[in-house]
Structure 1
Amino acid sequence: MSTTPKRLPARDRILDTACELFYAHGIHAVGVDRLIAESGVAKATLYKQFPSKDDVVAAYLRRMDDRWRHQLRSAALAAGDDPRDQLFGLFVALEYAAREGTLGCAFINAVAEYDPGSTAHTITAEHKRGVRAWVRDLAAAAGAADPDTLAFQLTVLIDGTLAATRVEHADHAAEAAKQTARALLDSACPR
């Protein structure tokens, strides 16, 4: 049995590289030539996998969507079976995001670089609506009188916390968000 690690397929190498570079430096700051060089693929290979940089950006955002939703769901489930506790558990996912060196929300960062109607803007809006719909379902299950408003408040709080980590690398942002979330939940979903 070989101990040599298997090399990832070209598409995965390109996407892994794009995720790292786009998140760290911004999408517009990373050119196709850098993606090619750092992923170790030929130009023809990149364009075979992704016909344009917009296609790489779309795949990057979809991967980040999968990762973030997985983090949120895991944090919610780890908080227990009660939907109210799961809503509060979402803010545990922010503890990772608040660590120094984390660069905020990949979607907020990306949408800042694109005009409405662009692929990146559309995917970001879909992501935000999808997360909010899921939070709304949890809020309804938790007994919120107005689950739409609570979902909007909680997702704005999540986004604001992620933005604060981008701007200030605020260690206390996640803790402040937890306190605010607790107050919102106490008000909207009394026990």
Structure 2
Amino acid sequence: MVDRCKTDRSFCYGWCVATPTRSAPDGPKSSSGGHGRSEARERLLSTASRLFYREGIRAVGVERILAEAPATRATFYRHFPSKEDLVLAYLRGVDAHTRAEVRAAIETASSPADALRAVGTAVADSLAEPEFRGCAFLKAAAEYPDPDDPVRRVVLDHRAWYTTTLAKLFTQVFGTSPRRPDPQHAARHFVMMRDGAMTGAHLDGVDSVRAAFNRGVEGLLTVLH
């Protein structure tokens, strides 16, 4: 399986998508094996992820993906029974990468406060990536407003995990004093700032948005603490 985090950054915040190779439409199975993984599947997923992020999920059809991968229709449906399955795989890949990024920030930090700063730095740094187009989850949510849609549920599950993870860190930062700030409130505030930064960076300028976001994170750690 291609290591997307060490290859071409085709989009930011979440998942580094490898540039698909122009091999035969029905390439050989990867030597890694297992779980139905193959070079063709990875090529389809990489191509779709790049297009979904840059152009929108609903704007990109299966035929476009097949042409750019390249792959045959039979190969596509062997790995993804429907376009929705491909969309879900795309978002789950973003989710997996983000979880790994946050976990690494927490594990390497010297304190819970520094872990929160590291998570914030990862967000701020993503804004300056050349191919940055906003948050993959916010973009998907805008295209799938039905709360019962499987795509929307993946988005909500990701946000719930993200907020809960931040709340646990804020709990450690604030301590056990009865007068401590509410960690859940602080976590939601962090997510709100992150959403705003992801949305506004390409409108208001990366430098100013990054600076404002970093000040906001520091404010949560100092003003509320």
Corresponding position: 1:129 with 2:155: no
Corresponding position: 1:81 with 2:110: yes
Partner SS state of residue 29, structure 1: coil
Q: Distance in 1 between matches of 2:79 and 2:46?
A: 13
Q: CA deviation at 1:75?
A: 3.6
Among 73, 77, 80, the residue aligned to 1:47: 77
CA RMSD of aligned residues (A): 2.0
Q: CA deviation at 1:37?
A: 1.2
Partner SS state of residue 206, structure 2: coil
Letter in structure 2 aligned against 1:160: G
Q: Distance in 2 between matches of 1:150 and 1:173?
A: 20
Q: TM-score, normalised by structure 2?
A: 0.76
**Map of 1:5-84 to 2, 5 A cutoff?**
9-78=39-108, 80-84=109-113
Change (3 A) 1:89 1:83: same
- Identical pairs, percent: 32
Q: TM-score, normalised by structure 1?
A: 0.88
Q: Distance in 2 between matches of 1:102 and 1:96?
A: 10
Q: Which runs of 5+ in 2 are unaligned?
A: 1-22, 31-37
Give the corresponding residue for 2:123. 94
17-26 or 137-146, larger mean C-alpha shift: 137-146
Letter in structure 1 aligned against 2:114: D
Letter in structure 1 aligned against 2:207: D
Q: What number of residue pairs does the alignment pair up?
A: 184
Deviations, residues 25-78 of structure 1 (Å, cap 9, x unaligned) = 100111000111111111011011000000000000000111222233334444
Q: Which runs of 5+ in 1 are unaligned?
A: none
